[in-house]
Amino acid sequence: MDIDTGNTGCWCVNVDWDSLLSERVQKNAYFRTWQTNKTNYNPGETVTFAFEVDTKLTQQTVKVEANLLDSSGNILTGSTSPAFTIYGTQNEPRTFTVTLPNPFASGTYKVEAIAFDSSTNVLPGSMQPATSL
């Protein structure tokens, strides 16, 4: 990455973590399944995420982050699971919840999920593509 530090005008740098890290860090953790408990929610409701994360390693301790995104891709609310250990491709389904803001404008929102290694807090895990709520 080359940043022009001599420029004193208005400038910025945008870095996409997943793209930046994908060439240096192998993505061991990945989602086998991911779903929400409903497709439509009211303000203040709790969204329950059911998921299963597997790893290419014998075992790995991971966290999963779920974010609610607006139509511009901005994170409105989110939650990160406690760390948990997964063992290869064993069946280890999990759930956790995120409570939606209240008030909350009606519209279509997306939810994304990210699995990452809990020992480094680096995102070598996979991202579940954002899906509409």
Class level of CATH domain 27-132? mainly beta
Residue with tokens 């192998």: 26
Domain boundary assignment for the chain: 27-132
**Structural contact between residues 29 and 54, judged by C-beta atoms closer than 8 angstroms:** yes
Neighbours of 81 (CB within 10 A): 20
What is the spatial distance between Cα 130 and Cα 109, in angstroms, rounded to a whole number?
A: 9
Structure tokens at 127: 């991202």
Is the pLDDT confidence value at 18 over 70? no
Q: Report percent pLDDT > 70 for the chain.
A: 71
Residue with tokens 């919840």: 97
Give the model's confidence band at 17: pLDDT under 50 very low, under 70 low, under 90 confident, else very high.
very low
pLDDT score, position 54: 92
pTM of structure:
0.69
Mean pLDDT estimate for the chain:
76
pLDDT in tens, 35-88: 889 888 888 888 888 999 999 999 999 998 888 888 888 888 888 889 999 999
